[in-house]
């Protein structure tokens, strides 16, 4: 019996599919036998094919899998040591054999990810892996995120890195640019961030791992195997164990350097639907559909997964748990998180916090299109109040500071645009409730959406759209480089002194650009790679970023953990148009400084503000920063130079 796309077979609902919560799906390996377990309730028959090769050739053995009753998964046990072999599953569905699949739960794959591999995971652990520990983290409010793109950071000849574009690049100590300055992991440690956010590092479909000499570039938002590392980042993509071990070596290296690792995860869609491991395992179950049976497309990539279904939710939860335990990952950034439902995201944080309460979860609180999932159930920014310990990106502060992400010539607060003060204030209080914010004047959100400040990610740019330098250039034609640097500093000063979680895109601390390309996911390395000689040319800017990070880490007043704490200690100061000013008072959050005043002048001319009377010390002034103090400053009316920040303490 046939049925329309998007329907379960034989007139049944997908809800009738019996779930399976066992931990043995796909493969359980031992050196004397391997047990294969496959969830496919609507399959009529299932076959296991065993191969000697990761691709090509024919199976050396094909076995028919069995199940005791329709409520159980299919299974078979094969004797002997299969380590080093490869395998696929193949189902008979509606009387036809579908194409072979590596299986959705595959955690080791051959080249290009079309066959699963039999691997002894214990043998992939690097020396000392059992003693690897997450670097200390007292509070999520202490997090400073650094978004890292493997190739961007390491491909340039100026990086001094041997394993360019590879996981192992992050194990290299002592790499230098042409002027002898640190690059790679030493640079990140020197900068002082607490977490790196890795762009998709699971196995994705866009790069042909047999043709790495072609140097194809892609961000990796086209998932193929969610539970296996990407082969193009390995020095030997044909060896299924190599990519696993190298990924672990990378995590271990970051941990040894006091840096936690966030993984960018893209469970909202697959690179294609028709030939995906999901559809070749359980046809149509993993996807949402339109009323006419076609695939719905909230991801903007041709399909979207149905996280509200029991086994899709179970899949996502088990997948993040696997990365957190097998690879010691410290957090997850969910791409297009609003494609998922609130219940799934809360299940994710619950499961992860049972492993370690300090694992951090955040995501994009939007989708790329509409969805059949009811709006009230989506994990959107507006529904963040329903999310438990899940943070969302603040596009309010992002576009408030620099201008609309898609309108390249539009200015923001930091470049003199009017009427952006409330959007900036909204970001400063991390999207929480504050009596001095006029929510009717915030650019996007007309109400607070964060229960607590750690639910807000503050940023001005990321891998998407124009990076900060390109946006500043495009929206300020004719501006001098000195002016662009002033705008850059002001923008990041607001981000790094705001409540919530700050986020920096890699290379912006050394004035990286992408030659004006909006979305460079398929652009060559010549567009994307960071010129590390910029670190010498823009060393003063690097030291300014470093100083901002040091300031934030040393002063808990910028890291207040509760909405009530922000309301108590942070008060905005009356200021003229184009200026935002506030005071943190009463040794906020146990800070050693009794009072802090911050003033941001977004105008392209000097402005005057009246600050509380008394003796102050300037910490940030006219593009300079020194946590120990720059100069004394008397209270009263103070003049702030154009496009700059002033931060005072006493």
CB-based contact 150:275 (threshold 8 Å): no
Is residue 147 annotated as part of the catalytic site, yes or no? no
CB-based contact 48:67 (threshold 8 Å): no
Residue 365: both structure tokens together: 């609180």
d(CA 481, CA 206): 37
Q: Between the CA atoms of 588, 589, 594 and 598, what dihedral angle is there, to the nearest 10 degrees? A: -50
d(CA 361, CA 205): 25
Residue 489: both structure tokens together: 């500093």
CB-based contact 102:114 (threshold 8 Å): yes
Q: Which of 142, 239, 335, 470 is catalytic?
A: 335
Cβ count near 624 (within 10 Å): 16
Instruction: For residue 201, give Cα distances in angstroms to 94, 227, 303, 490.
Output: 36, 10, 21, 32
d(CA 154, CA 184): 7
Strand segments, DSSP code E, in 417-461 are 456-458
Residue 488's nearest CA partner among 461, 464, 465 is 461
Strand segments, DSSP code E, in 506-601 are 570-573, 579-584, 596-601
Instruction: For residue 522, give Cα distances in angstroms to 54, 66, 519.
Output: 27, 44, 8
Strand segments, DSSP code E, in 80-144 are 86-93, 96-97, 116-117
Is residue 335 annotated as part of the catalytic site, yes or no? yes
Q: Between the CA atoms of 515, 518, 520 and 526, what dihedral angle is there, to the nearest 10 degrees? A: 0
Residue 1: both structure tokens together: 């019996």
Q: Which of 230, 341, 364, 389 is catalytic?
A: 364
Residue 192's nearest CA partner among 259, 263, 264, 262 is 259
Q: Count CA within 13 A, CB hemisphere, residue 279.
A: 21
Cβ count near 435 (within 10 Å): 7
User: Phi and psi of 449, rounded to 5°?
Assistant: -120, -5
d(CA 310, CA 316): 10
List residues with catalytic annotation: 335, 364
């Amino acid at each position: 019996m046939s049925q329309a796309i998007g329907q379960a077979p034989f007139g049944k609902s997908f809800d009738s599919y019996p779930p399976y919560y066992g931990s043995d799906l796909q493969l359980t390996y031992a050196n004397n036998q391997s047990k294969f377990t496959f969830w496919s309730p609507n399959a009529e028959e299932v076959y296991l094919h065993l191969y000697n090769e990761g691709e090509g050739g024919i199976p050396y053995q094909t076995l028919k899998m069995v199940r005791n009753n329709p409520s159980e998964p299919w299974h078979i046990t094969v004797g002997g040591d299969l380590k080093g072999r490869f395998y696929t599953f193949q189902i008979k569905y509606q009387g036809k054999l579908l194409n072979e699949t590596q299986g959705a739960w595959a955690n080791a794959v051959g080249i290009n990810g079309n066959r699963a591999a039999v691997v002894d995971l214990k043998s992939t652990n690097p020396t000392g892996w059992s003693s690897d520990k997450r670097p200390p983290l007292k509070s999520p409010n202490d997090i400073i995120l650094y978004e890292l793109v493997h190739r961007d950071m390491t491909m340039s000849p100026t990086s001094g890195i041997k394993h360019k574009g590879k996981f192992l690049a992050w194990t290299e100590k002592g790499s230098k640019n042409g002027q002898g300055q640190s690059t790679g992991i030493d640079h990140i440690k020197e900068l002082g961030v607490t977490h790196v956010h890795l762009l998709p590092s699971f196995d994705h479909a866009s790069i042909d791992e047999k043709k790495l000499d072609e140097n194809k570039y892609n961000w990796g938002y086209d998932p193929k195997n969610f539970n296996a590392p990407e082969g193009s980042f390995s020095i030997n993509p044909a060896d299924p164990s190599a990519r696993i071990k190298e990924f672990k070596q990378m995590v271990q290296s970051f941990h040894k350097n006091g840096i936690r690792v966030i993984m960018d995860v893209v469970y909202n869609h697959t690179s294609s639907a028709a030939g995906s491991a999901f559809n070749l395992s359980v046809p149509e179950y993993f996807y949402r559909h339109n009323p006419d049976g076609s695939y719905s497309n909230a991801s903007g990539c041709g399909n979207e997964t149905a996280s509200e279904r029991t086994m899709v939710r179970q899949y996502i939860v088990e997948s993040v748990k696997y990365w957190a335990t097998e690879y010691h990952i410290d957090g997850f950034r969910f791409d297009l998180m609003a494609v998922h439902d609130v219940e799934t995201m809360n299940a994710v944080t619950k499961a992860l916090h049972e492993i370690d309460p300090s694992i951090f979860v955040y995501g994009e609180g939007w989708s790329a299109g509409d969805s059949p999932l009811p709006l009230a159930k989506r994990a959107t920014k507006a529904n963040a109040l329903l999310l438990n310990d899940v943070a969302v990106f603040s596009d309010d502060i992002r576009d408030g500071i620099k201008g609309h992400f898609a309108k390249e010539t539009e200015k923001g607060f930091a470049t003199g645009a009017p009427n952006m003060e409330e959007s900036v204030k909204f970001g400063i209080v991390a999207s929480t409730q504050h009596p001095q914010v006029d929510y009717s004047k915030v650019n996007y959100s007309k109400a607070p959406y964060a229960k607590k400040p750690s639910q807000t990610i503050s940023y001005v740019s990321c891998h998407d759209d124009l990076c900060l330098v390109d946006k500043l250039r495009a929206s300020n034609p004719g501006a001098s480089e000195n002016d662009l640097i002033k705008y850059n500093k002001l923008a990041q000063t607001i981000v790094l002194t705001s409540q919530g979680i700050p986020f920096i895109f890699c290379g912006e601390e050394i004035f990286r650009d992408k030659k004006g390309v909006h979305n460079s996911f398929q652009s060559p390395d010549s567009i994307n790679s960071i010129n590390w000689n910029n670190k010498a040319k823009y060393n003063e800017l690097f030291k300014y970023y470093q100083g901002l990070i040091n300031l934030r880490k040393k002063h808990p007043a910028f890291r207040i953990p509760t909405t009530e704490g922000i309301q108590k200690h942070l008060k905005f100061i009356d200021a003229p148009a184009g200026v935002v000013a506030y005071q943190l008072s009463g040794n906020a959050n146990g800070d050693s400084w009794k009072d802090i005043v911050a003033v941001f002048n977004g105008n392209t001319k000097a402005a005057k503000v009246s600050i509380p009377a008394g003796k102050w010390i300037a910490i940030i002034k006219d593009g300079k920063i020194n946590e120990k103090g720059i100069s004394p400053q008397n209270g009263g009316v103070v003049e702030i130079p154009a496009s700059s920040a002033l931060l005072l303490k006493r």
